[in-house]
């Protein structure tokens, strides 16, 4: 796979260059029999290019060098998010384990380059979800786009019943979690398109950001970037985001950065009370309550993959009379670990890379359905409908 990186990444240009050379030669010899043969050769090569582009998501692949990923040019007409495979079109491998990379708010795929480099030697096919992450598109719309793109991926390319790994940074984790909710609200047949969905949310602000609540007219602020409308802690998206219970085949791990304050975790800022609240909850069965950020963060912890393990460990300590704030904090750091760096530089931590590799290899080893063995739900039944709220033209 590493050798593929040295090839030309523009699939269309790479495949068409022989035909272009033929075209140049053909123009010099007129319309004789040789010209007819060369014309047929051009047609065959053009047909081969069309077949290759039809078998990759959204008709093209993108380079492993994510600094070349021209995201804004790859979106839909109304800035809809789209999924693109990495690597040469001719080397696209839909049978390899799919890994989806999702960047954060105001970010770009290039921020995930180090993570991509750390896993390219695994038996995986990397994809990038290209989406408008700030001004023109709401986070809930991004999540709907992601769900639709994953349905299309299973229907048209990788086959139903496959497990999919998702690595999401910052707001990308919120997009992935809301995508889960949308899949859960789709038909049972559509849910079976996926053998498993496993996401790692890296320093994702599951608590939400400051801003007026929807009850205060938050939706009416004309100068708020559209993604921030949903990312407010009291928005219609964030309040119920982590409420739905996830089935066994949908998992979400929460990990954090040691530095920075873009995202809060269980001992920073407004969330510094979490160890005490959780100790009281487990010791005395007190409800975990507080500000909207505290409630949102609590619900995110509770619905994450490692919470049951964390709770059982804390409950044993409580039964032994050993559970206090300090013990809860140690438990939180173990089950919801922090990695070195700030909000973005955490992506470069080698320990994070090793954790992601182990997780992907575990998903590959435990994938139950062989590629293409499950029956696909009809594609037209697996489209996530537009939100009920009428937001108008997303460019408006």
Instruction: Looking at the structure, tell me whether residues 90 and 32 fall in a common domain.
Output: no
In a domain, 24, yes or no: yes
The answer to whether the beta carbons of residues 106 and 134 sit under 8 Å apart is yes
Number of structural domains, the chain?
Answer: 3
Instruction: Looking at the structure, tell me whether residues 63 and 203 fall in a common domain.
Output: yes
In a domain, 386, yes or no: no
Instruction: Looking at the structure, tell me whether residues 158 and 227 fall in a common domain.
Output: yes
Residue of 186, 194, 144, 125 lying closest to 376 (CA atoms)? 194
b/e per residue, 172-185, with b = 16+ CB within 10 A?
bbbbbbbbbbbbee
Q: Give the mean pLDDT per block of 10 residues along the chain (396 residues).
A: 42 36 37 50 46 74 94 92 95 96 94 97 97 86 95 91 95 97 86 90 95 62 76 93 93 94 88 97 96 96 96 98 97 97 96 97 80 58 61 35
**Quick one: pLDDT at residue 359?**
96
Label each residue of 151-187 as H, E or C. Answer: HHHHHHHHCCCEEEEEEEECHHHHHHHHHHHHHHHCC
Instruction: Looking at the structure, tell me whether residues 221 and 97 fall in a common domain.
Output: yes
Instruction: Looking at the structure, tell me whether residues 207 and 270 fall in a common domain.
Output: no
Q: Which residues pair with 199 in a beta bridge?
A: 166, 252
**Quick one: pLDDT at residue 221?**
60
**Quick one: pLDDT at residue 193?**
84
How far out from the chain centre does Cα 190 lie?
Answer: 19
Q: What is the DSSP string of 39-56?
A: HHHHHHHHHHHHHHHHTS
- Token output for 226: 């559209």
In a domain, 394, yes or no: no
Calculate Rg over the CA atoms of the chain: 24
**Quick one: pLDDT at residue 260?**
81
Strands 338-339 and 61-62: unpaired
In a domain, 326, yes or no: yes
In a domain, 32, yes or no: yes
Instruction: Looking at the structure, tell me whether residues 37 and 127 fall in a common domain.
Output: no
Instruction: Looking at the structure, tell me whether residues 147 and 227 fall in a common domain.
Output: yes
Q: What is the DSSP string of 330-345?
A: HHHHHHS-EESSSTTG
Instruction: Looking at the structure, tell me whether residues 7 and 76 fall in a common domain.
Output: no
Q: Which residue spans within 27-173 are E strands per DSSP? A: 61-62, 82-86, 97-102, 124-130, 162-169
Last residue of a domain, one of 54, 69, 94: 54
In a domain, 354, yes or no: yes
Which tens digit of pLDDT belongs to each residue from 180-195? 999 998 877 788 888 8
Instruction: Looking at the structure, tell me whether residues 12 and 105 fall in a common domain.
Output: no
CATH number of the domain residue 214 falls in: 3.40.50.1820
**Quick one: pLDDT at residue 378?**
64
Task: Report the C-alpha gap between 336 and 315 in whole angstroms.
Answer: 17
Domain of residue 330: give its range.
Answer: 266-335
Instruction: Looking at the structure, tell me whether residues 364 and 215 fall in a common domain.
Output: yes
Given CA atoms 182, 302, 169, 165 in this order, what sign does their dihedral have?
Answer: negative
The answer to whether the beta carbons of residues 169 and 111 sit under 8 Å apart is yes
**Quick one: pLDDT at residue 42?**
52
In a domain, 307, yes or no: yes
N residues, the chain = 396
- Token output for 308: 């049951």
b/e per residue, 238-250, with b = 16+ CB within 10 A?
bbebbeeebeeeb
Instruction: Looking at the structure, tell me whether residues 99 and 143 fall in a common domain.
Output: yes
**Quick one: pLDDT at residue 2?**
44
Instruction: Looking at the structure, tell me whether residues 108 and 225 fall in a common domain.
Output: yes
pTM summary value = 0.83
In a domain, 29, yes or no: yes
**Quick one: pLDDT at residue 189?**
72
């Amino acid at each position: 796979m590493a050798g593929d990186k040295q090839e030309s990444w523009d699939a269309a240009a790479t495949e068409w260059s022989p035909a272009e050379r033929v075209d140049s030669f053909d123009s010099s010899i007129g319309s004789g029999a040789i010209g007819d043969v060369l014309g047929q050769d051009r047609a065959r090569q053009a047909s081969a290019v069309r077949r290759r582009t039809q078998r990759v998501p959204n008709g093209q692949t993108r380079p492993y060098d994510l600094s070349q990923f021209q995201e804004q040019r790859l979106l839909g007409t109304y800035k809809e998010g789209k999924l693109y495979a990495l690597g040469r079109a001719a080397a696209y491998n839909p049978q390899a384990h799919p890994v989806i990379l999702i960047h954060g708010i105001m970010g770009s795929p290039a921020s995930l380059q180090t993570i991509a480099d750390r896993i390219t030697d695994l038996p995986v096919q990397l994809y990038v979800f290209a989406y408008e992450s700030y001004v023109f598109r709401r986070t809930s719309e991004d999540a709907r786009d992601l769900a639709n793109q994953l349905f299309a991926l299973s229907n048209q390319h990788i086959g139903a019943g496959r497990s999919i790994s998702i690595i999401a940074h910052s707001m990308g984790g919120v997009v992935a979690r809301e995508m889960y909710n949308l899949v859960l609200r789709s038909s049972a047949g559509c849910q079976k398109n996926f053998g498993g969905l496993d996401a790692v949310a890296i320093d994702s602000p599951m608590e939400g950001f400051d801003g007026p609540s929807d009850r205060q007219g938050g939706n009416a602020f004309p100068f708020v970037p559209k993604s921030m409308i949903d990312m407010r802690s009291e928005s219609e998206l964030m309040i119920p985001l982590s409420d739905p219970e996830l089935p066994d085949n949908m998992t979400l791990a929460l990990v954090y950065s040691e530095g920075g304050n873009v995202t809060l975790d269980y001992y920073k800022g407004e969330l510094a009370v979490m160890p005490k609240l959780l100790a009281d909850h487990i010791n005395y069965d007190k409800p975990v309550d507080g500000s909207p950020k505290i409630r949102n963060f609590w619900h995110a912890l509770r619905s994450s993959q490692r919470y049951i393990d964390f709770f059982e460990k804390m409950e044993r300590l409580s039964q032994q009379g050993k559970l206090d704030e300090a013990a809860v904090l140690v438990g939180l750091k173990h089950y919801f670990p922090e990695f070195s760096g700030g909000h973005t530089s955490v992506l470069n931590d080698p320990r994070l890379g090793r954790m992601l590799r182990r997780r992907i290899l575990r998903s590959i080893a435990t994938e139950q359905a062989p590629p293409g063995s499950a029956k696909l739900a009809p594609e037209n039944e697996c489209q996530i409908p537009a939100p009920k709220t009428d937001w108008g033209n997303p460019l408006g």
